[in-house]
Amino acid sequence: MLIGTVVLAGLALGLCAVLVLTDRLLPAGRDPVAEQVESLLPRIQCAQCGYPGCRPYAEAIAAGDADINRCPPGGEETVRRLADLLGREVPALDTTLGNASMNRVARIDERNCIGCNRCVPVCPVDAVVGVQQTIHAVIAAHCTGCELCLAHCPVDCIDLVSRDA
């Protein structure tokens, strides 16, 4: 009786210690829900949801801090899929956030570009090429149409055009 109690208590304590230690010492694993949410987002990093990228937004959704209707480029299709994944009602897409779309790409008007280099560092996917004092250009195949560069151009020479054009 006593031996049994001691052995079981010891086991319980020992295993408890192992659990606590692994939780403390091992690096925190990636949140699997956030991972799944991110894989459903378009991942074009436009930040129109109010978070600085798709990953942070996915984490906010997984933590229950953000609504699932804040992704303009994903559109209603993404909202529907997120609702499916998370077992929620399908809310209407929040259309006030912006209208980034993957069907469009940025194009720099070469007649007006002054080579100020301000759009280069803000592009989340390094789709703008160019160094200071030279005309910049957008690699259309890499551009996601996130619109982040538009606000940084002092001469307003960046336009969004249809991806196929």
- Which residues contact other proteins (rule: CB under 8 A)? 38, 42-45, 53-54, 102, 121, 123-127, 142, 144
Closest C-alpha to 104, from 150, 68, 135: 150
For tokens 């692994």, name the residue.
22
Measured from the CB atom, the residue of 33 and 120 that comes closer to other proteins is: 120
Least CB distance from residue 36 to other proteins, whole Å?
Answer: 12
Least distance between other proteins and beta carbon 135 (Å): 22
Cβ atoms of 41 and 74 within 8 Å: the answer is yes
Q: Which is nearer to other proteins, 6 or 93 (CB)?
A: 93
Least distance (Å) between residue 22 CB and other proteins: 27
- Which run of H or of E encompasses 68? none
Q: Which of 15, 6, 60 is nearest to 33 (CA)?
A: 60
SS3 30: coil
Closest separation in Å from C-beta 121 to other proteins = 8
Nearer to other proteins, 27 or 64 (CB): 27
Residue with Cβ nearer other proteins (66 or 123): 123
List the one residue out of 45, 38, 84 whose CA is nearest residue 61. Answer: 38
